[in-house]
Amino acid sequence: MATYNFPSITPTTQTFELVTNTKQFQSPLSNAIQTVSRNGSYWKTTMVFNNLSGAERAELQAFIAKLDGQTHRMLLRDYGHVRRGEGSPVVNILTQTDLAQGLTGITLDGAPADVDNFFRAGDYISFNNELHMVTDNADTTSTGSMSVYIAPPVRKPTDQNSPVTFFNATGVFMMTNNPQWRTQAPYFSSITIEAIEDVLA
């Protein structure tokens, strides 16, 4: 299995959603409802490319063929994301205990010192092949560290000093449909790609 960069072709429209792994239980006696959140949430996207022609159409068709269905993976992002922040933050230590409890916050080091709202709620960050959304504004300290709350929770152990990407942050996705191109004169094509994040990447 290989992971490829997605071609530099912007979709006409894109839907992007977080599919959570929560379950609901209702008591048959009192009708009380209890919800339980478990690890395994993932991102899902649908990208529509309208009126492709020439080199762009051929490049996207070739890329779809290269993926060979669900054999290979691709790096995708939310095209509506706006970049914020500067510097090169890295992940601090994540412990197995934190992961077992469903880690929703991480500590980053290596950012510029004393910056208010280095990350804002709604920003994306990625590390260790996982894509996360920042859920609260995050300020850096005098030493360039910060606590960042994210969703979904971290899924697997991450090495200390793993680099964090926040400009065009991407996740590892797999196709869930068999895209077809619909062509009409004068030879413009429309293509729809559906994909989900690979939680085991």
pLDDT tens by residue, the chain, 201 residues: 999 999 999 999 999 999 987 777 777 777 778 776 667 789 999 999 999 988 999 999 999 999 999 999 999 999 988 766 667 899 987 666 666 666 788 899 999 999 999 999 999 999 999 999 999 999 999 999 999 999 998 888 888 889 999 888 999 999 999 998 888 777 888 999 999 999 988
Same domain (yes/no): 154, 180: no
User: From CA 197, how far away is CA 201, in angstroms rounded?
Assistant: 9
Same domain (yes/no): 109, 139: yes
Interacting residues of 200 by C-beta distance below 8 A, sequence separation 6+: none
Same domain (yes/no): 126, 61: no
Whether residue 186 has a cis bond before it, omega within 30° of 0: yes
CATH code for the domain in which residue 164 is found: 2.40.30.290
Same domain (yes/no): 41, 16: yes
- Full residue range of the structural domain in which residue 140 is found: 81-169
Same domain (yes/no): 130, 191: no
pLDDT of residue 33: 80
Same domain (yes/no): 65, 142: no
Same domain (yes/no): 37, 88: no
Q: Which residue has the tokens 């992971």?
A: 3
pLDDT of residue 193: 96
* 3-state secondary structure string across 94-118: CCHHHHHCCCCEEEEECCCCCCCCC
DSSP for 28-74, please give it. Answer: TTT--EEEEE-S--EEEEEEEEEEE-HHHHHHHHHHHHHHTTTTSEE
pLDDT of residue 100: 64
* Cα 109-123-165 angle, rounded to 5 deg: 50
Identify whether the C-beta of residue 136 lies closer than 8 Å to the C-beta of residue 109: no
CATH code for the domain in which residue 37 is found: 3.30.200
Same domain (yes/no): 55, 126: no
Same domain (yes/no): 70, 101: no
Edge-to-edge strand order for the sheet containing 124-127? 90-91, 105-109, 146-151, 130-134, 124-127
Domain count, the chain: 2
pLDDT of residue 186: 79
Same domain (yes/no): 43, 85: no
Same domain (yes/no): 69, 23: yes
Say what the pTM is: 0.86
User: From CA 44, how far away is CA 52, in angstroms rounded?
Assistant: 23
pLDDT of residue 195: 97
Same domain (yes/no): 139, 88: yes
